[in-house]
């Protein structure tokens, strides 16, 4: 029962977003403090008379950064759609699950205690700590939201907010006692940035994207989640099992993303709304579109953060500049 | 023959006992209606039968199988419950919503099978919702929407249909329309129906069996003629009802009633006075 108009809109949106993304990749690869031409880029990729400086700029600086930005956008966008679907709350965001705050606190903790001892090795360890912190916070929230053998989604959101501010306070307390260089690193991370992207961090987060498979397979179920719980039970949905699969998959995905990029907000909030406006209510369409919108937003914002300001700023700040007005717009339209 | 059986069930809501030691047999192929005053536990009983609520003690059997040991998707192929005032996003299409009813029969997210499509078509037809199959849910009237929800439940293709106050908030014509669809399903498609109704005249006209509840207890069960009597209605609702037989279809009709509460209180008051003196 693939209705013609939505199917057509899906394909159209998909193609436009892919074209947009390719354009952004191209602009991000060629522009910067060191401008490259198309042929420079092509030569470097096809290994025709490679120039070492070009190789360095492309493969060690720009490409990993674009890949990290894309993966983070993909993960956060899709996790946002799932979390909004499961909690039936259009204003929910992956940050609500406490992952950002948990990962933040863990990274501050790490910088505070271990940074000195491990030295250069710490760049590799930082995402790992972020991951542990993010998963830890999410699990605590999940357990606290568990009542009478079920996850109450309202409770999930409220505990998420409470635990988030708890971890935020912890991170703040520790970072005030830090050395100024560590403090700067912690602040930069907490604002969300992909400037120190490298191939190691990409390989560290990539395995978590396997979780996209269960999410896409369950996308039909997210349509049903638009109904109330008694209707879902009557339809034979194993509610708690499915909720757990969907939420835990999103938690894994988001943890992997924020452990590398820091607390980037609003992507998981904005992408699902834009996707729904483009392709309607079917999650089989929403999920891929959401991923592409997330990628476009993060890659585009990172380009702006890197090039359009006198000094480079965090991508998280650019996204917030776009995100805050959008959030207010959503609030206002939701009320009317 | 019983198709759905409740055995010594106890249900609680936030620690309060709604009913305990409750037993009920639902006869296969019949329409059973539960009536009773607000808060008597009739909706809770229906939800317990539809495994929406798990009984604290006791068991529910569907075709002699314990409902707690059957996989929920398996139950959904045999039994469906339409909740009171179900909700869905207004932008959702009618046909889309009805297709959700096919969930228990689907194996993966791939497109609907021919059987799925046939069942959806059948559900649209039988509920007279064909004219607005392409419209969004939000553009329909309450009565039209209720029929769409009924169609979703029917697309599930079950032999047992549980309906929680299917006629609430509907105008007279739509109430009749919904109940006639239910009657037709029972008559021509051998559906066993259990529903909760507030209107005792509808209960009398459309049911084979009526179950009267009060304060978590089943006060009486029987055919409309056995149950819709001044005595039982006084027991169940605390009313003095005036009953006659509808000459056009032979079912009992309550054409007027007075509250028996005032009288009761008066008696109680008198008793107290007697004790005092």
In chain B, residues with a C-beta closer than 8 Å to the C-beta of A243 are none
Interval B249-260: pLDDT, tens:
889 999 999 888
Residue B111 has pLDDT above 50, yes or no: yes
pLDDT of amino acid A2: 44
A228 contacts B86? CB cut-off 8 A: yes
In chain B, residues with a C-beta closer than 8 Å to the C-beta of A284 are 109
Q: Are strands B31-35 and B79-82 parallel, antiparallel or unpaired?
A: unpaired
Residue B91: closest C-alpha in chain A:
A281
Please count the other Cβ atoms lying within 10 Å of the Cβ belonging to residue A69.
29
Is B230 an 8 Å CB contact of chain A? no
CA atoms of A331 and A12, how far apart (whole Å): 28
CA atoms of B43 and B242, how far apart (whole Å): 27
CA atoms of A257 and B212, how far apart (whole Å): 58
Binned at pLDDT 50, 70 and 90, residue A37 comes out as confident
Residue A246's SS3 state is: helix
For residues B123 and B195, state if they share a domain. no
Is the residue at B126 inside a domain? yes
Looking at B128, B157, B186, the residue that finishes a domain is B157
For residues B197 and B267, state if they share a domain. yes
Give which of B44, B48, B52 to mutate to test A binding, by max A Cβ within 10 Å. B52
For residues B221 and B100, state if they share a domain. no
Residues 146-205 of B with CB under 8 A from A: 153, 156
Residue A5 has pLDDT above 80, yes or no: no
Give which of B103, B110, B194 to mutate to test A binding, by max A Cβ within 10 Å. B103
More confident residue, B37 or A155: B37
Looking at B137, B157, B177, the residue that finishes a domain is B157
Determine the distance in angstroms separating the CA of B82 from the nearest CA of chain A, rounded to an integer. Answer: 7
The arithmetic mean of pLDDT across residues B115-129, rounded, is 95
The chain-wide mean pLDDT, for chain A, equals: 86
For residues B208 and B252, state if they share a domain. yes
For residues B166 and B228, state if they share a domain. yes
B117 contacts A234? CB cut-off 8 A: no
**Among the partner residues B74, B91, B109, nearest to A220 by beta-carbon distance:** B109
ipTM of this complex prediction, to 2 decimal places: 0.88
Binned at pLDDT 50, 70 and 90, residue B22 comes out as very high
In chain B, residues with a C-beta closer than 8 Å to the C-beta of A231 are 83, 86
Determine the distance in angstroms separating the CA of A282 from the nearest CA of chain B, rounded to an integer. Answer: 9
For residues B173 and B252, state if they share a domain. yes
Looking at B104, B125, B157, the residue that finishes a domain is B157
Contact (Cβ atoms closer than 8 angstroms) between residue B270 and residue B262: no
B77 contacts A236? CB cut-off 8 A: yes
Is the residue at B219 inside a domain? yes
A226 contacts B76? CB cut-off 8 A: no
State how many domains chain A has.
Answer: 1
In chain B, residues with a C-beta closer than 8 Å to the C-beta of A280 are 91
The arithmetic mean of pLDDT across residues B218-237, rounded, is 94
For residues B62 and B100, state if they share a domain. no
For residues B37 and B99, state if they share a domain. no
In chain A, residues with a C-beta closer than 8 Å to the C-beta of B100 are 223-224, 227, 235
Considering the entire predicted model, what is its pTM?
0.88
Task: Give the residues across from B256 on adjacent strands.
Answer: B242
Residue A50's SS3 state is: coil
Instruction: Give residue B198's domain range.
Output: 2-78+158-276
CA atoms of B205 and A267, how far apart (whole Å): 57
Cβ burial, residue B99 (10 Å; 0-12/13-18/19+): buried
Contact (Cβ atoms closer than 8 angstroms) between residue B4 and residue B31: no
Backbone angles phi, psi at B162, to 5 degrees: -110, 125
Is B77 an 8 Å CB contact of chain A? yes
B83 contacts A228? CB cut-off 8 A: yes
In chain A, residues with a C-beta closer than 8 Å to the C-beta of B158 are none
The arithmetic mean of pLDDT across residues B88-113, rounded, is 88
Please count the other Cβ atoms lying within 10 Å of the Cβ belonging to residue B107.
6
Residue A216: closest C-alpha in chain B:
B109
B50 contacts A226? CB cut-off 8 A: no
pLDDT of amino acid A123: 61
The CATH number for B215's domain is: 3.40.50.300
Is the residue at B111 inside a domain? yes
Look at residues A89, A96, A70, A69 and name the one whose alpha carbon lies nearest to residue A250. Answer: A96
CB neighbours of B105 closer than 8 A, spacing ≥ 6?
Answer: B77, B115, B116, B156, B157
Interval A306-335: pLDDT, tens:
888 888 888 888 998 988 888 888 888 865
For residues B186 and B150, state if they share a domain. no
Rounded percentage of chain B residues whose pLDDT exceeds 70: 96
Residue A1 has pLDDT above 60, yes or no: no
Is A233 an 8 Å CB contact of chain B? yes
B93 contacts A1? CB cut-off 8 A: no
The CATH number for A120's domain is: 1.10.3470.10
Is the residue at B199 inside a domain? yes
For residues B196 and B250, state if they share a domain. yes
Look at residues A11, A81, A95 and name the one whose alpha carbon lies nearest to residue A226. Answer: A81
Interval A82-116: pLDDT, tens:
999 998 888 888 877 788 888 888 888 887 887 66
For residues B260 and B188, state if they share a domain. yes
pLDDT of amino acid A112: 80
**Among the partner residues B81, B111, B156, nearest to A1 by beta-carbon distance:** B111
Residue A237: closest C-alpha in chain B:
B73
Is A219 an 8 Å CB contact of chain B? yes
Is B93 an 8 Å CB contact of chain A? yes
A227 contacts B51? CB cut-off 8 A: no
- Mean pLDDT check: name the lowest of A209-218, B251-260, B263-272: B263-272
Which DSSP state fits A92? -
Length of chain B: 277
For residues B191 and B132, state if they share a domain. no
pLDDT of amino acid B30: 96
CA atoms of A67 and A41, how far apart (whole Å): 16
State how many domains chain B has.
Answer: 2
Determine the distance in angstroms separating the CA of A68 from the nearest CA of chain B, rounded to an integer. Answer: 30
Instruction: Give residue A169's domain range.
Output: 4-335
């Amino acid at each position: 029962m693939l209705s013609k108009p939505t199917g057509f809109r899906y394909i159209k949106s998909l193609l436009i977003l892919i074209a947009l993304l390719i354009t952004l990749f191209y602009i991000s690869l060629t522009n910067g403090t060191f401008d490259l031409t198309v042929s420079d880029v092509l030569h470097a990729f096809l290994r025709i008379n490679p120039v070492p400086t070009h190789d360095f700029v492309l493969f060690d600086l720009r490409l990993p950064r674009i890949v990290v930005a894309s993966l983070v956008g993909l993960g956060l966008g899709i996790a946002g759609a799932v979390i909004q679907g499961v909690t039936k709350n259009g204003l929910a965001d992956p940050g609500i699950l406490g992952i950002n705050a948990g990962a933040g606190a863990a990274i501050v903790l790490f910088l505070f205690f271990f940074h000195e001892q491990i030295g250069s090795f710490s760049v590799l360890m930082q995402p790992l700590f972020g991951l542990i912190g993010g998963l830890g916070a999410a699990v605590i929230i999940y357990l606290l939201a568990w009542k009478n053998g079920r996850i109450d989604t309202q409770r999930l959101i409220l505990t998420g907010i409470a635990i988030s501010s708890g971890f935020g306070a912890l991170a703040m307390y520790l970072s005030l006692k830090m050395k100024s260089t560590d403090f700067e690193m912690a602040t930069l991370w907490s604002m969300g940035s992909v400037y120190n992207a490298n191939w190691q961090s990409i390989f560290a987060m990539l395995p978590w994207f396997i979780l996209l498979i269960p999410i896409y397979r369950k996308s039909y179920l997210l349509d049903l989640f638009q109904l109330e719980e008694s209707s879902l039970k009557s339809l034979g949905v194993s509610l708690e099992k499915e909720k757990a699969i969907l939420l835990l998959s999103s938690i894994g995905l988001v943890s992997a993303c924020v452990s590398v990029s820091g607390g980037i907000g609003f992507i998981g909030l904005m992408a699902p709304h834009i996707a729904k406006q483009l392709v309607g209510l079917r999650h089989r369409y929403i999920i891929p579109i959401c991923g592409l919108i997330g990628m476009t937003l993060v890659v585009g914002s990172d380009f702006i953060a890197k090039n359009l300001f006198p000094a480079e700023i965090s991508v998280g700040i650019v996204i917030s500049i776009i995100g805050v007005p959008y959030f207010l717009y959503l609030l206002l339209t939701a009320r009317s | 023959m019983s198709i759905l059986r409740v055995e010594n069930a106890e249900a609680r809501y936030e620690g309060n006992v709604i009913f305990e030691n409750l037993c009920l047999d639902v006869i296969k192929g019949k329409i059973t209606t539960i009536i009773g005053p607000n808060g008597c536990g009739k909706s809770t009983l229906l939800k317990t039968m539809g495994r929406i609520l798990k009984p604290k003690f006791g068991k529910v059997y569907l075709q002699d199988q314990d409902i707690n040991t059957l996989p929920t998707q398996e139950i959904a192929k045999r039994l469906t419950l339409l909740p009171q005032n179900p909700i869905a996003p207004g932008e959702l299409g009618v046909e889309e919503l009805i297709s959700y009813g096919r969930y228990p029969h689907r194996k993966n997210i791939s497109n609907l099978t021919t059987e799925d499509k046939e069942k959806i078509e059948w559900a649209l037809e039988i509920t007279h919702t064909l004219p607005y199959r392409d419209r969004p849910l939000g553009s329909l009237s309450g009565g039209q929407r209720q029929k769409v929800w009924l169609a979703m439940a029917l697309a599930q293709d079950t032999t047992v249909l549980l309906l929680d106050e299917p006629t609430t908030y509907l105008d007279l014509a739509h109430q009749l329309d919904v109940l006639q669809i239910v009657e037709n399903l029972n008559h021509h498609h051998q559906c066993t129906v259990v529903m909760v109704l507030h209107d005792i005249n509808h209960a009398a006209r459309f049911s084979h069996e009526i179950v009267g509840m009060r304060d978590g207890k089943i006060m009486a069960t029987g055919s409309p003629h056995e149950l819709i009597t001044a005595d039982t209605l006084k027991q169940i609702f605390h009313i003095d009802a005036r009953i006659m037989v509808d000459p056009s279809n032979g079912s009992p009709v309550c054409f007027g009633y007075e509250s028996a509460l005032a009288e009761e209180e008066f008696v109680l008051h008198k008793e107290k006075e007697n004790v005092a003196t």
